[in-house]
């Protein structure tokens, strides 16, 4: 019985090891965010001025399991708190190497200056950093955002060619405001990051409270497209159509990738 169990565990470990994407490949992806926050879809308290409905800069990271940017059911970090309340990415950008442990590529997409629009960015991932996270603030709002948490772009032993994910509004858990233009009202202590639904929070003043609906309309969606694959070496510098790719080996387990252009 012990031998059978040992063989089973050995087979499981071998299968898991062989199910990952190739370790010597760096993959370039394009992220395209489409927002659908229109007055037709979301008529209640739809912001038309000071400011009108729009979206912040998009912040994204490719990372491993230790490089989490945000997560439903968890508390927002100080950096995420500042971002979801103000749209300022300063603290996220300036996080220490310890805070960014497990991050390969950090990327940014321009703001969308109306409720409905599109923005995009490119980023890199590899077998050791196969997850992608994205966050974008709803403007105006107390602390609401849309995003993706730790989506795995490696499925089985292959990189995903393309995929589209629907997005819903999310409460950052740092401000008690119910409406898009609520005055600041800090949540102390912070509550957990949670989805906003048509009947939750259950308050008639809430800008997303539509009790007659089973679920809210889609407020946006994000697509990831695989563009290129590269074999990794310790140090790489290359130009790709006006873009500069730099890989910096931090240690035996971490290589940072940066795109400029």
How large is the average pLDDT for residues 68-79?
97
Instruction: Looking at 171-240, list the stretches that DSSP marks H as alpha helix, in order from N- to C-terminal side.
Output: none
H or E segment to which residue 211 belongs: none
Domain ranges for the chain: 25-231
The Cα 124–Cα 115 span in angstroms is: 28
The count of residues in the chain is 261
pLDDT at 231: 86
How large is the average pLDDT for residues 190-200?
98
Radius of gyration of the chain (CA): 20
pLDDT at 38: 99
The Cα 120–Cα 112 span in angstroms is: 10
Instruction: Tell me: pLDDT of 243 over 70.
Output: no
pLDDT band at residue 199 using 50, 70 and 90 as cut-offs: very high
How large is the average pLDDT for residues 26-40?
98
pTM of the model: 0.83
pLDDT at 246: 54
The Cα 32–Cα 185 span in angstroms is: 33
Closest CA to 123 of 24, 28, 1: 28
Residue 126 CB neighbours (<10 A): 25
- State the first-to-last Cα distance of the chain, in angstroms, to the nearest integer: 60
Instruction: Tell me: pLDDT of 57 over 50.
Output: yes
Q: Domain 25-231 adopts which CATH fold?
A: Immunoglobulin-like (2.60.40)
How large is the average pLDDT for residues 68-83?
98
pLDDT at 18: 43
The Cα 150–Cα 76 span in angstroms is: 15
Which has the minimum average pLDDT: 6-10, 44-48, 69-73? 6-10
Instruction: Tell me: pLDDT of 216 over 60.
Output: yes
**Peptide bond connecting 82 to the previous residue in cis, omega within 30 degrees of 0:** no
Structure-model confidence comparison of residues 110 and 231, the more confident one: 110
Eight-class DSSP state of 115: S
The Cα 222–Cα 148 span in angstroms is: 8
Which has the minimum average pLDDT: 18-22, 81-85, 184-188, 207-211? 18-22
Instruction: Tell me: pLDDT of 97 over 80.
Output: yes
């Amino acid at each position: 019985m012990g031998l059978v169990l040992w063989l089973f565990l050995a087979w499981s470990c071998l299968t898991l090891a062989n199910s990952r994407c190739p370790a010597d490949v760096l993959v370039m992806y394009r992220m395209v965010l489409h927002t659908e926050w229109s007055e037709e879809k979301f008529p209640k308290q739809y912001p038309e001025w000071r400011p009108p409905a729009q979206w912040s800069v998009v912040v994204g990271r490719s990372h491993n399991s230790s490089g989490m940017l945000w997560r439903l059911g968890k508390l927002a970090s100080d950096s995420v708190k500042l971002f979801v309340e103000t749209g300022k990415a300063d603290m996220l950008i300036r996080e220490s190497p310890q805070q960014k442990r497990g991050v390969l590529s950090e990327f940014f997409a321009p703001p969308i200056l109306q409720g409905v629009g599109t923005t995009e960015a490119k980023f890199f991932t590899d077998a050791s950093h196969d997850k992608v996270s994205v966050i974008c603030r709803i403007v105006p709002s107390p602390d609401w955002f849309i995003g993706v948490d730790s989506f795995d772009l490696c499925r089985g032993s292959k990189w995903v060619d393309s995929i589209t994910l629907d997005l819903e509004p999310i409460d950052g858990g740092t401000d008690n405001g119910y409406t898009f233009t609520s005055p600041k009202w800090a949540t102390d202590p912070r509550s957990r990051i949670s989805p906003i639904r048509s009947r939750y929070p259950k308050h008639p003043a809430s800008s997303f409270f539509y009790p007659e609906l089973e679920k809210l309309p889609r407020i946006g969606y994000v697509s990831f497209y695989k563009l290129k694959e590269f074999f990794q070496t310790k140090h790489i510098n290359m130009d790709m159509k006006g873009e500069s790719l730099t890989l910096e080996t931090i240690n035996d387990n971490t290589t940072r990738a940066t795109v400029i252009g």
